[in-house]
Protein backbone atom coordinates (compact mmCIF):
# COMPACT_ATOMS: atom_id res chain seq x y z
CA UNK A 1 0.00 0.00 0.00
CA UNK A 2 2.84 2.39 0.80
CA UNK A 3 4.37 1.97 -2.65
CA UNK A 4 1.06 2.45 -4.40
CA UNK A 5 0.28 5.53 -2.34
CA UNK A 6 3.58 7.25 -3.11
CA UNK A 7 3.32 6.48 -6.80
CA UNK A 8 -0.26 7.70 -6.87
CA UNK A 9 0.58 11.01 -5.20
CA UNK A 10 3.39 11.63 -7.71
CA UNK A 11 1.12 10.66 -10.62
CA UNK A 12 -1.66 12.99 -9.48
CA UNK A 13 0.72 15.87 -8.82
CA UNK A 14 2.19 15.62 -12.30
CA UNK A 15 -1.27 15.26 -13.79
CA UNK A 16 -2.27 18.56 -12.26
CA UNK A 17 1.10 20.19 -13.03
CA UNK A 18 1.77 20.90 -9.35
CA UNK A 19 5.13 21.06 -7.61
CA UNK A 20 5.98 19.22 -4.43
CA UNK A 21 6.10 22.58 -2.71
CA UNK A 22 2.50 23.31 -3.77
CA UNK A 23 1.21 20.11 -2.21
CA UNK A 24 3.31 20.62 0.91
CA UNK A 25 1.97 24.14 1.41
CA UNK A 26 -1.62 22.99 0.95
CA UNK A 27 -1.21 20.22 3.53
CA UNK A 28 0.93 22.20 5.98
CA UNK A 29 3.90 19.80 5.78
CA UNK A 30 7.49 20.18 4.62
CA UNK A 31 8.68 19.73 1.05
CA UNK A 32 10.92 16.94 2.33
CA UNK A 33 7.88 15.05 3.62
CA UNK A 34 6.23 15.05 0.21
CA UNK A 35 9.49 14.04 -1.43
CA UNK A 36 9.87 11.17 1.03
CA UNK A 37 6.36 9.91 0.33
CA UNK A 38 6.93 9.91 -3.40
CA UNK A 39 10.27 8.15 -3.00
CA UNK A 40 8.54 5.41 -1.01
CA UNK A 41 10.47 6.36 2.09
CA UNK A 42 7.36 6.78 4.19
CA UNK A 43 3.70 7.62 3.94
CA UNK A 44 1.41 10.42 5.16
CA UNK A 45 -0.26 10.37 8.54
CA UNK A 46 -3.75 8.91 8.29
CA UNK A 47 -5.23 12.28 9.27
CA UNK A 48 -3.83 13.77 6.04
CA UNK A 49 -5.47 11.29 3.69
CA UNK A 50 -8.82 13.13 3.32
CA UNK A 51 -6.96 16.40 2.66
CA UNK A 52 -4.73 14.79 0.01
CA UNK A 53 -7.74 13.22 -1.72
CA UNK A 54 -9.60 16.52 -1.61
CA UNK A 55 -6.58 18.39 -3.00
CA UNK A 56 -6.63 16.19 -6.09
CA UNK A 57 -10.47 16.07 -6.27
CA UNK A 58 -10.68 12.29 -5.87
CA UNK A 59 -11.92 9.83 -3.27
CA UNK A 60 -9.71 8.12 -0.72
CA UNK A 61 -10.39 4.82 -2.51
CA UNK A 62 -9.09 6.34 -5.73
CA UNK A 63 -6.05 7.64 -3.89
CA UNK A 64 -5.15 4.08 -2.91
CA UNK A 65 -5.96 2.73 -6.34
CA UNK A 66 -8.96 0.76 -5.14
CA UNK A 67 -11.38 2.52 -7.49
CA UNK A 68 -9.54 1.28 -10.55
CA UNK A 69 -9.76 -2.31 -9.33
CA UNK A 70 -13.40 -1.77 -8.47
CA UNK A 71 -14.21 -0.44 -11.92
CA UNK A 72 -12.46 -3.35 -13.59
CA UNK A 73 -14.52 -5.80 -11.55
CA UNK A 74 -17.74 -3.86 -12.18
CA UNK A 75 -17.13 -3.83 -15.94
CA UNK A 76 -16.44 -7.55 -15.80
CA UNK A 77 -19.82 -8.11 -14.13
CA UNK A 78 -21.56 -5.94 -16.73
CA UNK A 79 -19.91 -7.86 -19.55
CA UNK A 80 -20.95 -11.20 -18.04
CA UNK A 81 -24.51 -9.95 -17.51
CA UNK A 82 -24.78 -8.81 -21.14
CA UNK A 83 -23.57 -12.21 -22.31
CA UNK A 84 -26.20 -13.96 -20.17
CA UNK A 85 -28.83 -11.60 -21.57
CA UNK A 86 -27.88 -12.65 -25.09
CA UNK A 87 -28.42 -16.27 -24.04
CA UNK A 88 -31.94 -15.29 -22.87
CA UNK A 89 -31.64 -17.21 -19.61
CA UNK A 90 -33.47 -14.73 -17.39
CA UNK A 91 -33.44 -16.95 -14.30
CA UNK A 92 -29.67 -17.28 -14.37
CA UNK A 93 -29.26 -13.62 -15.31
CA UNK A 94 -31.39 -12.41 -12.40
CA UNK A 95 -29.49 -14.60 -9.93
CA UNK A 96 -26.14 -13.35 -11.28
CA UNK A 97 -27.20 -9.69 -11.10
CA UNK A 98 -28.55 -10.04 -7.55
CA UNK A 99 -25.16 -11.36 -6.44
CA UNK A 100 -23.34 -8.59 -8.30
CA UNK A 101 -25.57 -5.91 -6.76
CA UNK A 102 -24.91 -7.30 -3.28
CA UNK A 103 -21.28 -6.39 -3.93
CA UNK A 104 -22.06 -3.12 -5.77
CA UNK A 105 -25.34 -2.00 -4.16
CA UNK A 106 -25.38 1.52 -5.61
CA UNK A 107 -24.36 0.77 -9.21
CA UNK A 108 -27.24 1.77 -11.46
CA UNK A 109 -25.83 -0.07 -14.49
CA UNK A 110 -26.36 -3.37 -12.67
CA UNK A 111 -29.73 -2.25 -11.34
CA UNK A 112 -30.92 -1.30 -14.83
CA UNK A 113 -29.93 -4.67 -16.23
CA UNK A 114 -31.70 -6.42 -13.37
CA UNK A 115 -34.83 -4.35 -14.01
CA UNK A 116 -34.79 -5.30 -17.70
CA UNK A 117 -34.32 -8.97 -16.85
CA UNK A 118 -37.24 -8.81 -14.42
CA UNK A 119 -39.42 -7.16 -17.07
CA UNK A 120 -38.66 -10.04 -19.44
CA UNK A 121 -39.20 -12.65 -16.75
CA UNK A 122 -42.47 -11.04 -15.73
CA UNK A 123 -43.63 -10.96 -19.33
CA UNK A 124 -43.09 -14.71 -19.59
CA UNK A 125 -45.08 -15.30 -16.41
CA UNK A 126 -47.90 -12.87 -17.12
CA UNK A 127 -50.37 -12.02 -19.84
CA UNK A 128 -50.01 -8.34 -20.69
CA UNK A 129 -51.90 -8.86 -23.95
CA UNK A 130 -54.75 -6.56 -24.77
CA UNK A 131 -58.38 -7.35 -24.13
CA UNK A 132 -61.50 -5.45 -25.10
CA UNK A 133 -63.46 -4.08 -22.19
CA UNK A 134 -67.19 -4.58 -22.60
CA UNK A 135 -68.86 -1.43 -23.78
CA UNK A 136 -65.61 0.21 -24.82
CA UNK A 137 -64.09 0.87 -28.25
CA UNK A 138 -60.54 0.58 -26.88
CA UNK A 139 -58.20 -2.30 -26.29
CA UNK A 140 -57.00 -2.31 -22.69
CA UNK A 141 -54.33 -4.21 -20.82
CA UNK A 142 -55.42 -6.79 -18.28
CA UNK A 143 -54.22 -4.48 -15.54
CA UNK A 144 -55.92 -6.25 -12.62
CA UNK A 145 -53.99 -9.40 -13.47
CA UNK A 146 -50.74 -7.63 -14.35
CA UNK A 147 -50.77 -5.60 -11.12
CA UNK A 148 -49.96 -8.81 -9.23
CA UNK A 149 -46.77 -9.40 -11.22
CA UNK A 150 -44.01 -9.45 -8.59
CA UNK A 151 -41.23 -9.21 -11.20
CA UNK A 152 -42.69 -6.02 -12.60
CA UNK A 153 -43.23 -4.55 -9.14
CA UNK A 154 -39.55 -5.03 -8.35
CA UNK A 155 -38.52 -3.67 -11.75
CA UNK A 156 -40.51 -0.49 -11.10
CA UNK A 157 -38.81 -0.01 -7.73
CA UNK A 158 -35.39 -0.40 -9.33
CA UNK A 159 -36.15 1.97 -12.20
CA UNK A 160 -37.62 4.62 -9.90
CA UNK A 161 -34.47 4.44 -7.77
CA UNK A 162 -32.21 4.77 -10.83
CA UNK A 163 -33.98 7.98 -11.88
CA UNK A 164 -32.80 9.60 -8.64
CA UNK A 165 -29.16 9.08 -9.64
CA UNK A 166 -26.77 10.91 -11.93
CA UNK A 167 -26.99 9.03 -15.23
CA UNK A 168 -26.48 10.12 -18.82
CA UNK A 169 -29.40 11.38 -20.91
CA UNK A 170 -29.70 8.33 -23.16
CA UNK A 171 -29.90 5.96 -20.19
CA UNK A 172 -32.40 8.23 -18.44
CA UNK A 173 -34.58 8.10 -21.56
CA UNK A 174 -34.42 4.29 -21.59
CA UNK A 175 -35.36 4.13 -17.90
CA UNK A 176 -38.33 6.45 -18.44
CA UNK A 177 -39.57 4.41 -21.42
CA UNK A 178 -39.36 1.21 -19.39
CA UNK A 179 -41.23 2.77 -16.49
CA UNK A 180 -43.96 4.13 -18.73
CA UNK A 181 -44.63 0.68 -20.23
CA UNK A 182 -44.72 -0.96 -16.81
CA UNK A 183 -47.07 1.67 -15.40
CA UNK A 184 -49.32 1.15 -18.42
CA UNK A 185 -49.32 -2.65 -18.20
CA UNK A 186 -50.11 -2.54 -14.48
CA UNK A 187 -52.78 0.15 -14.68
CA UNK A 188 -50.85 2.80 -12.76
CA UNK A 189 -52.10 5.70 -14.86
CA UNK A 190 -51.37 8.30 -12.19
CA UNK A 191 -47.64 7.52 -12.11
CA UNK A 192 -47.56 7.24 -15.89
CA UNK A 193 -49.02 10.71 -16.28
CA UNK A 194 -46.81 12.17 -13.55
CA UNK A 195 -43.69 10.78 -15.20
CA UNK A 196 -44.74 11.94 -18.67
CA UNK A 197 -45.72 15.43 -17.53
CA UNK A 198 -42.37 15.89 -15.80
CA UNK A 199 -40.60 15.63 -19.18
CA UNK A 200 -40.05 18.40 -21.72
CA UNK A 201 -42.57 18.95 -24.53
CA UNK A 202 -41.58 17.96 -28.04
CA UNK A 203 -40.95 21.58 -29.07
CA UNK A 204 -38.00 21.80 -26.66
CA UNK A 205 -36.47 18.43 -27.46
CA UNK A 206 -32.79 18.58 -28.29
CA UNK A 207 -33.41 17.58 -31.91
CA UNK A 208 -35.97 20.30 -32.55
CA UNK A 209 -34.04 23.00 -30.68
CA UNK A 210 -30.84 22.30 -32.61
CA UNK A 211 -32.71 22.17 -35.92
CA UNK A 212 -34.44 25.50 -35.23
CA UNK A 213 -31.56 27.52 -33.82
CA UNK A 214 -28.35 26.24 -35.38
CA UNK A 215 -27.24 28.11 -38.49
CA UNK A 216 -23.64 26.98 -38.88
CA UNK A 217 -22.17 24.08 -40.83
CA UNK A 218 -23.87 21.58 -38.49
CA UNK A 219 -27.37 22.83 -39.21
CA UNK A 220 -28.05 20.26 -41.93
CA UNK A 221 -27.01 17.45 -39.61
CA UNK A 222 -29.32 18.67 -36.86
CA UNK A 223 -32.27 19.16 -39.21
CA UNK A 224 -31.80 15.62 -40.54
CA UNK A 225 -31.74 14.21 -37.03
CA UNK A 226 -34.86 16.18 -36.10
CA UNK A 227 -36.71 14.85 -39.17
CA UNK A 228 -35.80 11.26 -38.26
CA UNK A 229 -36.73 11.72 -34.61
CA UNK A 230 -40.08 13.35 -35.33
CA UNK A 231 -40.89 10.76 -38.00
CA UNK A 232 -40.15 7.91 -35.60
CA UNK A 233 -42.21 9.42 -32.78
CA UNK A 234 -45.13 10.08 -35.13
CA UNK A 235 -45.00 6.44 -36.19
CA UNK A 236 -45.11 5.22 -32.57
CA UNK A 237 -47.99 7.48 -31.51
CA UNK A 238 -50.09 6.85 -34.63
CA UNK A 239 -49.45 3.10 -34.51
CA UNK A 240 -50.64 2.95 -30.90
CA UNK A 241 -53.65 5.18 -31.62
CA UNK A 242 -54.80 2.88 -34.40
CA UNK A 243 -54.10 -0.46 -32.77
CA UNK A 244 -55.64 0.15 -29.33
CA UNK A 245 -58.95 1.42 -30.69
CA UNK A 246 -61.17 -1.35 -31.99
CA UNK A 247 -63.00 0.87 -34.47
CA UNK A 248 -59.66 1.82 -36.08
CA UNK A 249 -57.80 -1.50 -35.86
CA UNK A 250 -60.64 -3.18 -37.75
CA UNK A 251 -61.33 -0.49 -40.34
CA UNK A 252 -60.13 0.95 -43.62
CA UNK A 253 -59.63 4.27 -41.82
CA UNK A 254 -57.05 2.73 -39.53
CA UNK A 255 -55.35 0.99 -42.44
CA UNK A 256 -55.19 4.24 -44.40
CA UNK A 257 -53.59 5.99 -41.44
CA UNK A 258 -50.83 3.37 -41.17
CA UNK A 259 -50.24 3.44 -44.92
CA UNK A 260 -49.92 7.23 -44.73
CA UNK A 261 -47.01 6.77 -42.29
CA UNK A 262 -45.51 4.20 -44.67
CA UNK A 263 -45.64 6.79 -47.45
CA UNK A 264 -44.01 9.37 -45.18
CA UNK A 265 -41.10 7.00 -44.52
CA UNK A 266 -40.81 6.23 -48.21
CA UNK A 267 -40.82 9.95 -49.05
CA UNK A 268 -38.14 10.89 -46.52
CA UNK A 269 -36.00 7.78 -47.13
CA UNK A 270 -36.69 7.93 -50.86
CA UNK A 271 -33.62 5.98 -51.97
CA UNK A 272 -34.72 2.80 -50.18
CA UNK A 273 -31.93 2.97 -47.61
CA UNK A 274 -34.06 2.81 -44.46
CA UNK A 275 -31.27 1.64 -42.15
CA UNK A 276 -32.63 0.96 -38.69
CA UNK A 277 -36.05 2.17 -39.83
CA UNK A 278 -36.57 -1.08 -41.70
CA UNK A 279 -37.70 -2.17 -38.22
CA UNK A 280 -40.43 0.51 -38.16
CA UNK A 281 -41.51 -0.38 -41.69
CA UNK A 282 -41.69 -4.05 -40.73
CA UNK A 283 -43.94 -3.22 -37.78
CA UNK A 284 -46.17 -0.96 -39.89
CA UNK A 285 -46.71 -3.62 -42.53
CA UNK A 286 -47.41 -6.28 -39.88
CA UNK A 287 -50.17 -4.12 -38.44
CA UNK A 288 -51.47 -3.35 -41.94
CA UNK A 289 -51.64 -7.08 -42.52
CA UNK A 290 -53.65 -7.59 -39.33
CA UNK A 291 -56.17 -4.93 -40.29
CA UNK A 292 -56.52 -6.37 -43.80
CA UNK A 293 -57.37 -9.75 -42.26
CA UNK A 294 -60.11 -8.08 -40.20
CA UNK A 295 -61.37 -6.56 -43.46
CA UNK A 296 -61.51 -10.08 -44.99
CA UNK A 297 -58.94 -9.11 -47.60
CA UNK A 298 -56.57 -12.08 -47.49
CA UNK A 299 -54.72 -11.09 -50.64
CA UNK A 300 -53.72 -7.68 -49.30
CA UNK A 301 -52.98 -9.15 -45.88
CA UNK A 302 -50.54 -11.62 -47.40
CA UNK A 303 -48.91 -8.91 -49.50
CA UNK A 304 -48.40 -6.64 -46.46
CA UNK A 305 -47.10 -9.56 -44.43
CA UNK A 306 -44.49 -10.53 -46.99
CA UNK A 307 -43.41 -6.89 -47.31
CA UNK A 308 -42.94 -6.85 -43.52
CA UNK A 309 -40.72 -9.93 -43.78
CA UNK A 310 -38.68 -8.25 -46.54
CA UNK A 311 -38.07 -5.23 -44.33
CA UNK A 312 -37.09 -7.49 -41.46
CA UNK A 313 -34.49 -9.21 -43.62
CA UNK A 314 -33.16 -5.79 -44.67
CA UNK A 315 -32.95 -4.75 -41.03
CA UNK A 316 -30.99 -7.89 -40.18
CA UNK A 317 -28.53 -6.96 -42.91
CA UNK A 318 -27.81 -3.48 -41.55
CA UNK A 319 -27.78 -4.68 -37.90
CA UNK A 320 -28.80 -1.26 -36.64
CA UNK A 321 -26.19 0.67 -38.65
CA UNK A 322 -27.91 3.79 -39.93
CA UNK A 323 -25.83 5.85 -42.33
CA UNK A 324 -28.62 7.43 -44.33
CA UNK A 325 -28.14 8.53 -47.92
CA UNK A 326 -31.48 10.17 -48.82
CA UNK A 327 -31.10 13.93 -49.48
CA UNK A 328 -33.25 15.09 -46.57
CA UNK A 329 -31.29 13.16 -43.93
CA UNK A 330 -27.91 12.24 -45.41
CA UNK A 331 -26.04 14.46 -42.92
CA UNK A 332 -27.74 12.96 -39.85
CA UNK A 333 -25.30 11.14 -37.57
CA UNK A 334 -26.43 10.76 -33.99
CA UNK A 335 -30.01 9.53 -34.11
CA UNK A 336 -30.53 6.34 -32.08
CA UNK A 337 -34.25 5.49 -31.87
CA UNK A 338 -35.75 3.19 -29.29
CA UNK A 339 -37.14 0.19 -31.14
CA UNK A 340 -38.91 -3.05 -30.34
CA UNK A 341 -36.64 -5.88 -31.42
CA UNK A 342 -38.61 -8.30 -33.56
CA UNK A 343 -38.21 -12.07 -33.53
CA UNK A 344 -39.86 -15.18 -34.89
CA UNK A 345 -42.62 -15.10 -32.25
CA UNK A 346 -43.88 -11.77 -33.59
CA UNK A 347 -44.27 -13.18 -37.09
CA UNK A 348 -45.80 -16.41 -35.88
CA UNK A 349 -48.38 -14.50 -33.86
CA UNK A 350 -49.37 -12.30 -36.79
CA UNK A 351 -49.60 -15.37 -39.04
CA UNK A 352 -52.14 -17.17 -36.86
CA UNK A 353 -55.06 -15.41 -38.53
CA UNK A 354 -53.97 -16.51 -42.05
CA UNK A 355 -55.54 -19.47 -43.81
CA UNK A 356 -53.42 -22.57 -43.21
CA UNK A 357 -52.30 -22.84 -46.84
CA UNK A 358 -51.04 -19.21 -46.82
CA UNK A 359 -49.16 -19.71 -43.57
CA UNK A 360 -47.54 -22.90 -44.84
CA UNK A 361 -46.52 -21.22 -48.10
CA UNK A 362 -44.76 -18.45 -46.17
CA UNK A 363 -42.97 -20.81 -43.80
CA UNK A 364 -41.80 -22.98 -46.68
CA UNK A 365 -40.58 -20.08 -48.78
CA UNK A 366 -36.75 -20.36 -48.89
CA UNK A 367 -36.55 -16.57 -48.89
CA UNK A 368 -37.90 -16.46 -45.34
CA UNK A 369 -36.40 -19.69 -44.01
CA UNK A 370 -33.86 -17.86 -41.82
CA UNK A 371 -36.63 -15.97 -40.00
CA UNK A 372 -38.71 -19.00 -39.02
CA UNK A 373 -35.63 -21.05 -38.16
CA UNK A 374 -34.63 -18.61 -35.38
Q: What is the pLDDT of residue 2?
A: 42
Provide DSSP, 275-339: GGGHHHHHHHHHHHHHHHHHTT-HHHHHHHHHHHHHHHHHHHHHTT-----STTTTT--------
Where is mean pLDDT largest: 5-9, 71-75, 205-209, 289-293? 289-293
Q: What is the pLDDT of residue 320?
A: 56
Is residue 100 scored above 50 in pLDDT?
yes
Nearest Cα neighbor of 231 from 188, 281, 193, 192 is 281
Nearest Cα neighbor of 304 from 286, 291, 316, 281 is 286
pLDDT digits (tens, 9 = 90+) for 296-312: 998 899 999 999 999 99
Q: What is the pLDDT of residue 1?
A: 42
- The mean pLDDT value of the chain amounts to 86
CB 268 within 8 A of CB 329: yes
Mean pLDDT to the nearest integer, 139-145:
79
Mean pLDDT to the nearest integer, 162-189:
88
List phi, psi (to 5°) of 18. Answer: -110, 150
pLDDT digits (tens, 9 = 90+) for 31-55: 888 888 888 878 888 888 888 888 8
Decide which of 319 and 295 is more confident: 295
**CA atoms lying within 13 Å on the CB side of residue 360:** 3
Mean pLDDT to the nearest integer, 204-214:
82
Is residue 128 scored above 60 in pLDDT?
no
The helix or strand, by DSSP H or E, that contains position 49, with its residue range, turns out to be helix 49-55
Lowest mean pLDDT among 4-13, 60-69, 250-259, 318-327: 60-69
Decide which of 90 and 159 is more confident: 159
Mean pLDDT to the nearest integer, 125-154:
74
Amino acid sequence: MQIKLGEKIRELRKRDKRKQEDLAAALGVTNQAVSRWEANGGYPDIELLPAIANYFHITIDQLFGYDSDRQIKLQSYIKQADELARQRDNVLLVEFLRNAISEFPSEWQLQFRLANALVSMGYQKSEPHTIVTKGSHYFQYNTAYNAQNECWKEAISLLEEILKKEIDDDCRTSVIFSLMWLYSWMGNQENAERTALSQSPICVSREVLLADTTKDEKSEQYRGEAILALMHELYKVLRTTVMIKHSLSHSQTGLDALLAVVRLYECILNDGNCGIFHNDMCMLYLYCSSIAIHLNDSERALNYYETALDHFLEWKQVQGISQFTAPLVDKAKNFRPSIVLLNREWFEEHMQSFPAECADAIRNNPKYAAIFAQ
